[in-house]
Amino acid sequence: MSFSLTPPLLFVVAYLTGLFTIAHLADRGIIPPRITHHPATYVLSLGVFAGAMASNGIIELAHLYGYNFLLYYLGVVLMFVMATVLLVPLLRLCRVYQLASLADVLTFRFRSPWVGATITVVMCITLLPLLALQIQAVADSVHILTGASGSLLSRHNRPDGLALLFCIIITVFSILFGTRHASSQHRNTGLVTAIAFESLTKLLAMLILLLAAIFPVFGGFDGLQQWLAESAEARRLLDQPIHGDTARALLLVFFAAAVCMPHIFHMAFAENNDSRDLRAATWGLPLYLLLLSLPILPVTWAGIKLGQNLPIDYSGLAIGLALDSVTVNAAAFTACMSAASATIIVTTLALANMCINHLVLPSNLLQIDREQSIYTQLKWLRRSLIGLLILAGYAFFITLSGSQSLVQLAVVAFTGTLQFLPGIIATPYWPGANRKGLLAGLGGGLLLWFLAMLLPLFGDYSLSLLDFLFESVSGPGEERWATATMLSLALNAGLFIAVSLLTRTSTNERVAAEICSMDEVIRPTRQTLALHSVHEFSRQLATALGENTAQTVVHQALTDLQFSPRETRPYALRRLRSRIEANLSGLLGPAVAYSIVERCIPFAPGLHGSTEDINLIERNLDRAQSRFTGVAADLDNLRRHHRETLDKLPIGVCSIGADGELLMWNRAMVHITGIASGDVLGSLLDSLVEPWRQIIGDFQRSTANTALKTEVPNATGAARWISLHKASPEDGDSANHTVILVEDITDFELLEEELLHNERLASIGRLAAGVAHEIGNPITGIACLAQNLEFETDPQEIRHTARDILRQTERVSRIVESLVNFSHAGSGAGDTRPAPANLADCVDEAIHLLALDRETRPARFSNHCDREIVVLADSQRLLQVFVNLLGNARDACDDNGQVQIRAVAQDDTVTIHVEDNGCGIPPQLQTQVFEPFYTTKDPGAGTGLGLSLVFSIMDDMGGSVQLTSPIAPPPHPGTRVTLQLPRTSYGDTFVVGAAPAGTVLE
């Protein structure tokens, strides 16, 4: 049975058109997202691993090595089962930093465009055999179906025209939907769905071949078992041991393929960013490969049994031709074509991306700063490269002219990409690795691979040195390619390690290594940006990307992070910078992205790595919580406990870094300041809103560690007070951090004001009798004068009497005014205003008020204060101080009591001494007399608040109080109270709330 050329070609076109339709429908959302985004779709798309090697070459592998062919699948199965070893860290990196290829990952890790360029060039070369393999499998299949026998597949009768036709069709298809998105940030749903469909088709086709092999060829399972028992060749295959260099090399090569082959990497990481899908793939892909491999042995045996004059790779077609079955032939051809087309499409797409990101863009071949869309330029460039790569694969295929089997081609391609394995393993696990080591290792390994693997494809180029080497290290019966594979990898790893250890690792590489590291003790360092706003970001990026693209990139990053365009917090700007680099990496590759971001959004020099990024560390720890086990989990729980304790403290806690960045802002701070922690964390202290910027900033800069009472200006007029405490650890890692505790003492202050007012009222009560008497005298006088006035006719006398009445009235008014002033003094917090006050007048007023109290013992007050002395104080509150002090002094004296008031003016202060010759205060009581409600007087005679208020008022006014007793020998030891107040003069001006340095008490 044979076909004309038209049906297979029409079948190819129809199949690929169907595939394109599926991709289009998936892209448009007509195929529901629950299907296109289902983990099963992702798992099936990973079936791209199984190219023509899995549909055809694997049969040859089974024929050569028996059960060892399973290692082709088991290598990948192991990689996915052990996903946490390499796949999870790689997916994390790719997702966060928008890395779409192996070259992206290694360029990001080793911070060198040379690494990316080298890997891209090497990848393109090593994958030419793989592309040629796919082309050869399809072309040979068409050739066989159209009537050629195995003998026709010779060097002189190759189906080159068929191969070219296939290449053109597949190129058109790859270009049509493989380049929909310019950035790797977007999942190419159409591509993923189409490849998943291809995997499903491939599986169904292989299962049809299985049924065809077992039932029509062997007549069922019993027939197969019987044939196996009788066939010596079959027994030979089954008895081959699964060990030795060949087996190890096979396992290693296909284990590494899961991350080293660009098409698998592309489907696994670039088209997926969900760990849920990867978790499904850890068992889904092994299951898929199990089903896919199940038909291999029966098909191989069927091929041996039927003995068609065809290469063993095409046993599927041999069965179809022998059975004369269109279905079986179609299944065999479909399996081959779907496998080959998927591999070619994804491989060339991935390679094209790598070429753009690591060859074209870094070399400035594309003008990316032009205003016209970068995205359009990139799409067309990618399309051209896809075409070019497929043609290169075709050229390789033509050059070989079918001289090599599918397995040979596959082995060369897979062992070539194996050379990237040391670099990939070092990415998450060895921060000490550097680019020089990587390039040296790659150079050594690839040189050996080129001489021992690639070169022999084109003829017998045996080198005596290599022959000697292989003979000396390989065991009896070992394959030359297996020995070459192990040797090249050993040379690669050896050079990589040695050169990395012997050469210096740059700072950039160390930072990138920290990011890539799987070590939990990563300590991100905080760097300071030279730019301070989102607008500046856009403006600077515009110089490299053009205005429109820069704005788009910045806007996208802001949207990703859910930040406001008005963001100015350094922490947020640092994250924005990283996000922009990641997004640009998805668009232009990590090398160009890094270069642009370094140039346009640089870090400020001099502060590199100066301090740890606490916010970032906390964020990382929060996100990594589920991964901690054992001691790490305990430590994390402890951290959370302490964090929560700090957060729930009723006292405000804020922590400030050496560069002024706010690192902590607990709930109490939010309550006290009304500023949400999310608004300030990571921002600079200077960016706080007033009055907090000034209050916390001044306190942080001051040398004092405590500010007991600081008034917080408030727009609503309601006064608030806080006390501040500061701690600056002088050792350890947080040497330059400052921790500030903020306590809201408004309630306490209001209570104190209330007490002050009550004490004042109590004083007024005590003065009441005297006041009545004082007022009574002039009133009596006024009454007498008024009576006289009634009968007076002499105008001179009337005027004289009127003046007397007025004098008496003034006396009454002065008494009343004194009382009113005293009762209102400092009744509200807002009344506290420092102003120049004449000290002697204030003392006189206090003496005058005390003179109104007739029920107490008389005492002689002597005011010796200089009349010129002016102090900076609230005169009303100062009056309260003197009333309390002089009242206490008088109460302490006997009937011959004398109270002296003196004042001494220094440069900036005035010292006032109030001395009495009373009973004095015992030393053991001197510390208690300033406490509230402490009194030595009889019950009802005093409230115990007098001296406490004196202390409090003096503290408020920036002054101080000292008490000395005794000051004279008994029997009148006496007491001296020394007050100190700021000195001023009437001409001075004052800034309210700014001055008194004394508000800070050490």
Partner 1 sequence: MYINRVLLLVIGVALIFLPAIEGWMANSETNWYRPYLLWLLIVIAAYWNQRSRYPDEL
Residues of this chain that bind partner 1 (CB under 8 A): 66-67, 70, 74, 77, 80-82, 84-85, 88-89, 91-92, 95, 228, 234-235, 238-243, 274-276, 279-280, 282-283, 286-287, 290, 293-294, 297, 429, 518-519, 626-627
Contact present, 413 and 213 (Cβ < 8 Å): no
Q: How far is the CB of 750 from partner 1 (least distance, A)?
A: 51
CA distance 925 to 366: 88
- What is the Cα 15 distance to its own chain's centre? 46
Is 239 or 460 the residue whose CB approaches partner 1 more closely?
Answer: 239
CA distance 672 to 744: 7
Is 225 or 694 the residue whose CB approaches partner 1 more closely?
Answer: 225
| Residue carrying the six token digits 């930093």 | 97
Q: Which tokens hold the place of 428? A: 């998450």
Q: Which tokens hold the place of 916? A: 């009495």
Is 62 or 138 the residue whose CB approaches partner 1 more closely?
Answer: 62
CA distance 353 to 395: 21
Q: How far is the CB of 349 from partner 1 (least distance, A)?
A: 24
Q: How far is the CB of 279 from partner 1 (least distance, A)?
A: 4
CA distance 146 to 138: 12
Is 3 or 429 the residue whose CB approaches partner 1 more closely?
Answer: 429
Q: How far is the CB of 623 from partner 1 (least distance, A)?
A: 8
In 3-state terms, what secondary structure has residue 469? helix
Q: How far is the CB of 245 from partner 1 (least distance, A)?
A: 15
Is 340 or 516 the residue whose CB approaches partner 1 more closely?
Answer: 516
CA distances 606 to 301, 574, 609, 659, 682, Å, are 71, 16, 9, 12, 20
Is 279 or 648 the residue whose CB approaches partner 1 more closely?
Answer: 279
Q: How far is the CB of 322 from partner 1 (least distance, A)?
A: 21
Q: How far is the CB of 301 from partner 1 (least distance, A)?
A: 9
Is 235 or 833 the residue whose CB approaches partner 1 more closely?
Answer: 235
Is 92 or 902 the residue whose CB approaches partner 1 more closely?
Answer: 92
CA distance 151 to 80: 41
In 3-state terms, what secondary structure has residue 97? helix
Q: How far is the CB of 283 from partner 1 (least distance, A)?
A: 4
Is 214 or 355 the residue whose CB approaches partner 1 more closely?
Answer: 214
Is 623 or 857 the residue whose CB approaches partner 1 more closely?
Answer: 623
Is 241 or 475 the residue whose CB approaches partner 1 more closely?
Answer: 241
CA distance 71 to 68: 6
Q: How far is the CB of 287 from partner 1 (least distance, A)?
A: 5
Contact present, 195 and 343 (Cβ < 8 Å): no
Q: How far is the CB of 244 from partner 1 (least distance, A)?
A: 11
Is 235 or 370 the residue whose CB approaches partner 1 more closely?
Answer: 235
Q: How far is the CB of 290 from partner 1 (least distance, A)?
A: 5
Closest to 774 (Cα-Cα) out of 809, 823, 812: 812
DSSP codes joined into one string, 416-439: HHGGGHHHHHHHHH-TT--HHHHH
CA distance 941 to 763: 10
CA distance 640 to 647: 10
CA distance 575 to 755: 52
916 class by beta-carbon count within 10 Å (0-12 exposed, 13-18 middle, 19+ buried): buried
In 3-state terms, what secondary structure has residue 866? coil
Compute the C-alpha angle 616/523/583, nearest 5°: 50
Is 291 or 789 the residue whose CB approaches partner 1 more closely?
Answer: 291
Q: How far is the CB of 449 from partner 1 (least distance, A)?
A: 28
Closest to 354 (Cα-Cα) out of 545, 105, 582, 131: 105
Is 85 or 967 the residue whose CB approaches partner 1 more closely?
Answer: 85
Closest to 742 (Cα-Cα) out of 808, 802, 671: 671
Is 23 or 74 the residue whose CB approaches partner 1 more closely?
Answer: 74
Q: How far is the CB of 257 from partner 1 (least distance, A)?
A: 18
Q: How far is the CB of 643 from partner 1 (least distance, A)?
A: 21
Q: Are strands 652-656 and 870-873 parallel, antiparallel or unpaired?
A: unpaired
Q: How far is the CB of 185 from partner 1 (least distance, A)?
A: 16
In 3-state terms, what secondary structure has residue 671? helix
Long-range contacts of 305-310 (CB under 8 A, 24+ apart): 305/217, 305/218, 305/227, 305/231, 306/217, 308/150, 309/149, 309/150, 309/151, 310/144, 310/149, 310/150
In 3-state terms, what secondary structure has residue 983? strand
Task: Count the neighbouring beta carbons within 10 Å of the beta carbon of residue 414.
Answer: 27
